[in-house]
Amino acid sequence: MAVRLQALTERPVYPVMRRMRRAFMRRLGRWSRGAYDVRLVYDHGEPVYKKVVFNSAHQAGRVAAALRAYGESVFVPSLRHHAGNAIWVDYVAGHAFDPNASDQPKRVAECFTSFALRPSRGVALADSGLIETLYERLATLSEHGVLDAALGRALAARIARFDGRQTLRFGFDYADPIAANLLTRADTGQTCAIDVKNVRQDGLVGLGVAKARARWLDEAGLSAILTHWQRQGLDDVVRSFDFVQVYERIERVAQQAATDIRSRGGIRKRDAKIDKLQTLLG
């Protein structure tokens, strides 16, 4: 859709001090989210678009391509324009997402199902390379003293029990579903994934749900999603979700450890990392 950009005004979403702090942290190599800025675009005082300015045209192109492929939906702001290192998407009015709202399980299930139902490709777990990745992560965590030998062996045994013939799906996923990256729409009441840079076109389907489960999604919410997927014929995704949760947890702890080493020279909060991994053993 063509967008009239003349005569529109834009204002930064983030305050000046926050933008300055981000720039300073990037120079120190301590800002891991990449360089981007967000601005609201107004037409006669009314917000109509959100403009996301990336550090590179390549990143903007990747996000724009994912949004085009995802298509029009109430669950993700629609792409309206792409030029250089910037994209414009619809402004979505609404209020902060409440993980504890009574209708949360239904609304969240609808949102995540909209990602899972889009085209995806099936890959046997044994052919995906993810088992090997997990063993590498365990070796690295052991090397840096996060895992002792007993916990390392127990986690390796947990991984080895997965059936390599099970199918993983790779397609659309929402990569960072923290509560702040979701919005309850004012027009429909549905949950909208507003952080468009985290719409992935070739992600591990279900990984976003596993991330949400590790942060704010309760058991009722997870059950609603899995039931919704089952009803929509997403049997592969439901059967592989246990592996996806294990993969998410080990990968997240490994990334946190790598960040600690890179930015601080050593592992922080080791006991908390061990606790996260021990929960995988039931």
Residue 2 domain flag: no
Residue 1 domain flag: no
Residue 134 domain flag: yes
Residues 147 and 125 in one domain: yes
Degrees to nearest 5, angle at CA 94 with 173 and 106:
55
- Tell me how far apart the alpha carbons of residues 242 and 253 are, in angstroms, rounded to a whole number: 17
Residues 153 and 266 in one domain: yes
- Tell me how far apart the alpha carbons of residues 51 and 41 are, in angstroms, rounded to a whole number: 7
Residues 187 and 48 in one domain: no
**Each residue's pLDDT tens digit, 52-66:** 999 889 999 999 999
> Interhelix angle for 207-215 vs 219-231, to 10°?
160
What are the tokens at 45?
A: 């005082």
Residues 194 and 75 in one domain: no
What are the tokens at 237?
A: 């995704």
Residue 156 domain flag: yes
Count how many domains the chain has: 2
- Residue with the larger pLDDT of the pair 33 and 101: 101
**Residue 246 one-letter amino acid:** V
From 22, 57, 91, the end of a domain falls on 91
Residue 121 domain flag: yes
**Each residue's pLDDT tens digit, 127-173:** 999 999 999 999 999 999 999 999 999 999 999 999 999 999 999 99
Report the predicted TM-score, pTM, of the whole model to 2 decimal places: 0.87
Residue 48 domain flag: yes
Q: What is the CATH number of the domain that holds 148?
A: 3.90.1200.10
Residues 85 and 136 in one domain: no
What are the tokens at 231?
A: 């009803």
- The residues near 67 (Cβ < 8 Å, ≥ 6 apart) are 76, 78, 79, 87, 89, 196, 199
Average pLDDT, the chain: 90
pLDDT band at 236 (very low <50, low <70, confident <90, very high): very high
From 91, 114, 133, the end of a domain falls on 91
- Secondary structure letter of residue 149 according to DSSP: H
- Tell me how far apart the alpha carbons of residues 91 and 52 are, in angstroms, rounded to a whole number: 11
> How far is C-alpha 259 from the geometric centre of its chain's CA atoms?
18
Q: State which residues form the domain around 127.
A: 95-281
Residue 29 above 80 pLDDT?
Answer: no
Contact, 40 vs 10, CB < 8 A? yes
Residues 60 and 108 in one domain: no
From 76, 91, 106, the end of a domain falls on 91
